[in-house]
Structure 1
């Protein structure tokens, strides 16, 4: 079943209510009760079914590879900044100095005018060790001046900053709140960074694209006491990319089935709870949540007018070539 006609990736897609596809989902997607329903369903009870947001998937699909890549680039930048082993350089230089003194005398490097010999001697100096100033002089000669050495240092600092930034966000990534489908009240709700959002199930909107599924509701934005349409991402298949409408079918049909028929249509046991992925931080439920949710639900009917406008906008956008 197709919910949208084919359109170019750069075309705008506007939210439309899931309810216009309810009949298609009932007819074309079969949902059987299971011991363990498929992801992204996290729990099923008598009145509530929860589904995870995109954060738990995005962390492993996007952040983990990005963190590993940033450390690999940092390793490369270290090799660019520090391309030689100082111990080996000292050993090689001292070996050359010792062999030259054996052949030409201990005062060879005092009287010689051979520039190559003096260059090796100046790397370690009379004490046979590379000091900071000697190393910088060596690098100046090797890199063609302090400008190029400075650029390498800046490149290293930049790579280190990116690696630390990615690692910090990977380790302290805040797990987003689940989506809650309340069969008793026939509403959908969640929260994000202390912003409450929700709507009646019949007014839940969706946007489907290659990155997954966007859940469209009404909520507090940009802060508490102000309201407008608001959305959050979901990953129905844990793919994280190249998602299709078919990938979303099971989740959308399962939600509809639960809201209409209850838990017995989704699970075989009394309850189902899937363990959450490990996270050091979690997006906690906002204070005074129920009251704030009620205030959102008083205004969620404005989504109906918005969807009507979106139908017109979508038709106009699809007519345009670019």
Structure 2
């Protein structure tokens, strides 16, 4: 992947090697999850509980480019990009393409005669013509299927082929035609629906860490997800890191809601060390400020190509502050919820 972050090329091998070298000094000697792989942990934990553990073991310097999936660092805010931007292209797009290709395959093989079928149909009509010229008595029903298939031009078409099967084909061929028509209709609905969803799904909001207010928040389709930093939950999986927020729920009034980030920005597996690096950056910012993360006054990355290809943006709710205040009144209940419930 190549993009520009903080006016520094992201994807340049020399830059990547430099980043790997500076992070190598902080690689973990001791695992946080000694008893079992972190990928199998299903209960969320309080993020704040990691502060002492990470501060004792990890030291990170400030850089002009914090990299990872960090999109913004200023006096009060650190923002992290959602993992959905790349997942949308690497997981959803291939599935949509596959459905379209399967639909075209069904249509080309089931609703259109092959070259061999057309050639054989023309042979049958030539045979009929020869027999008539020789005065041999023929049964028109023996040739009507192929005549209907070829039409007047001898080349066949979609409608001519379907009508030939429906009117003069065998019971078996009719059965498979109807099955293929139903399958094609289902695939068409799935293809069109998933394509519309892909194009119209809005760009997901970043996750924001507000140092001044000591809160963490994001939003989704007009609904705010937030909590105090001390109540934030987390859970580690093979694809990245889940942060657990408090949010309004239709049936339960208020409930926990998780959002995933991929610390390295990679779609494939992220390791525990990758998660640790991002966690250390977050604690540095929330405890010490931007000077512990960046060397400049402000850092804002230029979104990569996967971040830009959207027709819509999930805009910040107009009543954001009102929703945030309501959540922060109650988020002391959040740790008890996510530590007791399995994912």
- The TM-score normalised by the length of structure 2 is 0.76
| Deviates further, 250-259 or 66-75 | 66-75
User: 1:151 offset after TM fit, Å?
Assistant: 0.2
The count of aligned residue pairs is 308
| Deviates further, 92-101 or 210-219 | 92-101
Question: Which runs of no fewer than 5 residues in structure 2 stay unpaired?
Answer: 1-29
Q: 1:6 to 1:152 in 2, by over 3 A?
A: farther
Provide the rounded CA distance (Å) in 2 between the counterparts of 1:125 and 1:170. Answer: 41
Tell me the residue number matched to 1:237: 264
Superposed CA RMSD in Å reads 3.4
Q: 1:136 to 1:5 in 2, by over 3 A?
A: farther
SS in 1 for 2:296: coil
Tell me the residue number matched to 1:178: 206
Q: Please, which of 33, 51, 61 is the counterpart of residue 90 of structure 2?
A: 61
Deviations 1:64-108 (A, max 9, x none): 22122222222322233235258x86566446645764x555476
The answer on whether the counterparts of 1:51 and 1:179 sit within 8 Å (CA) in structure 2 is yes
User: 1:258 offset after TM fit, Å?
Assistant: 0.9
User: 1:210 offset after TM fit, Å?
Assistant: 2.2
Tell me the residue number matched to 2:51: 22
Deviations 1:201-250 (A, max 9, x none): 12211011223221112222238x93233322222223345333222112
Provide the rounded CA distance (Å) in 1 between the counterparts of 2:101 and 2:290. Answer: 47
Q: Please, which of 180, 187, 199 is the counterpart of residue 215 of structure 2?
A: 187
| Deviates further, 113-122 or 231-240 | 113-122
Q: 1:24 to 1:143 in 2, by over 3 A?
A: farther
User: 1:182 offset after TM fit, Å?
Assistant: 0.9
Q: 1:298 to 1:125 in 2, by over 3 A?
A: closer
Q: 1:251 to 1:126 in 2, by over 3 A?
A: closer
Tell me the residue number matched to 2:138: 112
SS in 1 for 2:32: coil
| Deviates further, 77-86 or 119-128 | 119-128
User: 1:126 offset after TM fit, Å?
Assistant: 7.0
